[in-house]
Amino acid sequence: MRVTLAQHLRAIIMGPPGSGKGTVAGRIVAAFPEMQHRSSGDLLRAQIQKGTDLGKEAQTYINEGKLVPDDLVTKLILAEIPETGSFLLDGFPRTEGQAEVLSQHVDIETVIDLDVPFDVIKDRLTSRWTHPASGRVYNTGFSPPKVAGIDDETGEPLIQRDDDKPETVENRLNIYEAQCKPLRAYYDQKNVLNRFSGSETNVIWPKVKDFLDGKM
């Protein structure tokens, strides 16, 4: 049965890396097909692939190992926000400054904030091992290789990506928290922040769906 939102809902989803944000966002747009999903990462990659002026400018920063500046990301997202209907912004805004610029163009009615304990995320991310040639990913917690450290199909050694090493994961989470604390406070003051806590996506998702069902 197709579920529809009785009103236009302009929403944001946020959560630390490894929180399951992408999975929850996917389930939201599957359950509510009229909700248009706008991911800052996907949009940026599309602009780069198309070779647009904005994409070329972003690529220069990426090539230098720098973050794409706030104003460039903001310009991209504002150009892609639907003029009508419901939408879900994913990966934007990341800072209070971006949120303030966004508020000048559209009223955000709901912020879905995924609250997953950092210890759970660290364990989840640092348990990932990859076969570099194929991209196959294993997790020592719930989908380990048949032989520790070895790819099931080729017998070649697995590696742990730099992004998945404990010190890197902890640094990413600390940066996220420092960046998002003022953003969370900004939306909390506007009474649109809704936190959903849990250690697993399958625990958090029903809470999110019940909440969105209540918006019908």
CA torsion through residues 66, 67, 71, 73, sign: positive
Q: Give catalytic status of residue 136 as yes or no.
A: no
Dist CA 38 CA 41 (whole Å): 9
Q: Give catalytic status of residue 161 as yes or no.
A: yes
Q: In what order do the strands lie in the sheet with 193-197?
A: 36-39, 87-90, 10-14, 110-115, 193-197
CA torsion through residues 111, 115, 118, 123, sign: negative
Count of residues in the chain: 216
Candidates 45, 50, 56, 161; catalytic one: 161
Candidates 10, 38, 128, 184; catalytic one: 128
Count the Cβ atoms, other than its own, within 10 Å of residue 23: 14
Candidates 122, 172, 195, 209; catalytic one: 172
Candidates 38, 94, 124, 184; catalytic one: 94
Q: Give catalytic status of residue 184 as yes or no.
A: no
SS3 label, residue 74? helix
Q: Give catalytic status of residue 124 as yes or no.
A: no
Q: Give catalytic status of residue 195 as yes or no.
A: no
Could you please report the per-residue DSSP string of 141-164? TTB--SBTTB-TTT-PBPB--GGG
Q: Are 113 and 184 in contact (CB under 8 A)?
A: yes
Candidates 21, 38, 124, 184; catalytic one: 21
So which residues are the catalytic ones? 21, 94, 128, 161, 172
